[in-house]
Amino acid sequence: MAYTVRRPNLTFWEKLYLPTIASGLAITLKHLRKMLMGETKVTMQYPEEKWDSELPEYYRGAPTLVKDDHERERCVACQLCEFICPPRAITITPGELPSENRFAKVEKFPKEFQIDMTRCIYCGLCEEVCPEQAIYLRKDYAITGENRAEMIHHKAKLYELGGTMPDLVHKWNPDK
């Protein structure tokens, strides 16, 4: 069943649209005056000026891998981050430790670990699900590359970007 919606009758001034155009022009002129007087900052000169000082504490940037105090890999290739990643940006190939290692029976290590930064959506789920606190999100928003191959971060690059974290890390503690 169709309903007929009656349009309101416009007055003469509303049909001319002049008051609406004048009010929009007044707003534009007000912004122009503020910009010329230096009251409003219009744009940021990006390479020289950055948002780093203004980023909130809860900002989620690019994921990286971190090592512990003794330069050991924290990642045990449990693959939880790979399974939870919505765009499937993380790929892990687990490897087994040599039999002479004292942790050989209980731990694995990532033989290959890569994150495709063109697919990553910076959701932070990989950091939250990691039981070994091996993945951290750094406060970086300018991740660039000249081709797609440069945007795939392999294990060596992820450790280089992540660095080391102390053993006692309380990433869920609000007072960290």
Give tens-digit pLDDT for 69-108: 888 888 889 999 999 999 999 999 999 888 887 777 777 8
* pLDDT tens-digit map of 45-59: 887 888 777 788 888
Where residue 109 falls among pLDDT bands split at 50, 70, 90?
confident
Alpha-carbon gap, residue 58 to 146, rounded angstroms: 29
- The per-residue pLDDT for 174 is 52
Whether pTM exceeds 0.75: no
Contact 104, 97 (CB under 8 A): yes
Mean pLDDT value across the chain: 86
Least confident of 2-16, 34-48, 74-88, 117-131: 34-48
The structural architecture, per CATH, of the domain 52-162 is: 2-Layer Sandwich (3.30)
Cα end-to-end distance, the chain, whole Å: 62
pLDDT at position 176 is 44
Say what percent of the chain tops pLDDT 70: 94
Indicate the domain borders of the chain: 10-41, 52-162
pLDDT at 10: 87
What percent of the chain is modeled with pLDDT above 90? 44
Nearest Cα residue to 135 out of 70, 85, 101: 85
The CA-atom distances, in angstroms, between 133 and each of 47, 73, 84, 90 are 32, 11, 15, 16
Tell me the backbone φ, ψ of residue 112, rounded to 5 degrees: -130, 140
The half-sphere exposure of 150 on its side-chain side, counting CA atoms within 13 A, is: 5
Q: What is the dihedral of CA 30, 36, 41, 43, to 10 degrees?
A: 100
Per-residue pLDDT at 1 exceeds 80 = no
